[in-house]
A = this chain, B = another copy of it.
């Protein structure tokens, strides 16, 4: 490539790959150029001269060199250890990811993404090996998680989405699963149901366990028995279908499902057996994902603003990076009990 040194043409687009190139073009030192770019102190005159050259140039700071010299890169890692085949169609995770990408993009931050394509050990290894990361956001939904453990005991700033009791000192964004489960169970009791069943979430997950606890707390407080009214599910529609059959046999007059997907499955079973919702069996879910309001009847559920969770996690991480000495950020997001026709049939339509 031959390049003409036609210095006469002031507005020609020059090529400057490094700070040294810029320094040569402006006649100041590399250090000064760096200061101008990063908002350091510089005389107004030189600042202007540098910026003029900068404008006629395709210069971009080298992020790898920056990270090496300053420790900052503007890139964060996001770990959602879920099989991509399950993750993408699942409104829960996709909304979370939307929130994260939205906020990061808005703040000009880059994102490296790890999904459940590897073992957790491999993932942890890979993430810790990616030394250009400034920090990481990880969805911490299971009781045992080597990735979470590894990240928390590393010196990489980390924000969890969800958390376990052991994560007390970590930064996280979560909801009060126990309280929310208690509230929705109490709602079912308050409309006169006494045999409220529960289809649990996966037993290895924090949300699953905590919602069980909340359910039991509400039942206990009301003086109702629940030992024969709990059936294990796993957050899938399918588990809702089969578990509901069992609960109907045992005479449940209401069912609280650990999430909306399993509630949708339960709904199928209830209607297939000729029973009416909510007259014969009241039904409730958890999450308020998109389809919940479109079920027939619309589903009573607990709304958590998942996109907000994602944004909040990104915000917490960026704040943490801006002020590393700061105490851990622990954010408990609000939930909202959304009562629809699956529990209260005759609700007037506005």
Interface string of A51-64 (1 = CB under 8 A from B): 00000000011111
- Given the complex of chains A and B, what is the CA–CA distance between A62 and B128 in angstroms? 10
Residues of chain A from 58 to 82 with CB closer than 8 A to chain B in the complex: 60-65, 67-68, 73, 75
Chain A positions 119-133 with a Cβ under 8 Å from a chain B Cβ: 125-126, 128-132
The residues of B that contact A131 with a CB separation of less than 8 Å are 60-65
Inter-chain contact A129/B61, CB cutoff 8 Å: yes
Smallest Cβ distance from A194 to chain B, in angstroms? 39
Nearest 8 CB-CB pairs, A to B?
A105-B117, A88-B94, A64-B67, A84-B98, A62-B131, A63-B131, A64-B64, A60-B129
Q: Given the complex, which residues of B lie within 8 Å of A94, measured CB to CB?
A: 84, 88-89
A250 within 8 A of B: no
Q: How far is the CB of A77 from chain B (nearest CB, A)?
A: 9
Closest to A77 in B: B110
Nearest B residue to A109, CB-CB: B126
5 A-B contacts, Cβ less than 8 Å apart? A65-B68, A89-B89, A101-B115, A104-B117, A112-B112
> Count of chain A residues with Cβ under 8 Å from any Cβ of B?
39
Least CB distance, A146 to chain B, in whole angstroms: 15
B110 with A84: CB separation less than 8 A: no
A111 and B112 within 8 A (CB): yes
Shortest distance in angstroms between A6's beta carbon and chain B's nearest beta carbon?
21
A31 within 8 A of B: no
A342 to chain B, nearest CB (A): 23
* Distance of A319 Cα from B270 Cα, bound (Å): 54
Whether A102 is near chain B, meaning CB under 8 Å from some CB there, is: yes
CB distance from A250 to the nearest CB of B (A): 33
Q: Are B117 and A63 in contact (CB under 8 A)?
A: no
A122-163, CB < 8 A from B: 125-126, 128-132
A97 within 8 A of B: yes
Known A60-B131, A105-B115, A111-B112; 7 more pairs at CB < 8 Å: A65-B68, A75-B112, A84-B101, A89-B89, A89-B94, A111-B114, A112-B112
Asked whether any CB of chain B lies closer than 8 Å to the CB of A106, the reply is: yes
Quick one: CB contact mask for A212-247 with B, threshold 8 Å, 1 for yes?
000000000000000000000000000000000000
Q: In the bound complex, do residue A85 and residue B112 qualify as a contact, i.e. CB atoms below 8 Å apart?
A: no
Q: How far is the CA of A63 from the CA of B68 in the complex (A)?
A: 9
Q: How far is the CA of A140 from the CA of B131 in the complex (A)?
A: 30
Residues from chain B with a CB closer than 8 A to the CB of A275 are none
Q: Is A295's beta carbon under 8 Å from chain B?
A: no
Distance A65 CA – B118 CA, assembled complex (angstroms)? 25
**Which residues of B sit under 8 angstroms from A91, Cβ to Cβ?**
89
Contacting residues, chain B, for A65 (C-beta < 8 A): 64, 68, 131
Of chain B, the residue at the smallest CB distance from A68 is B64
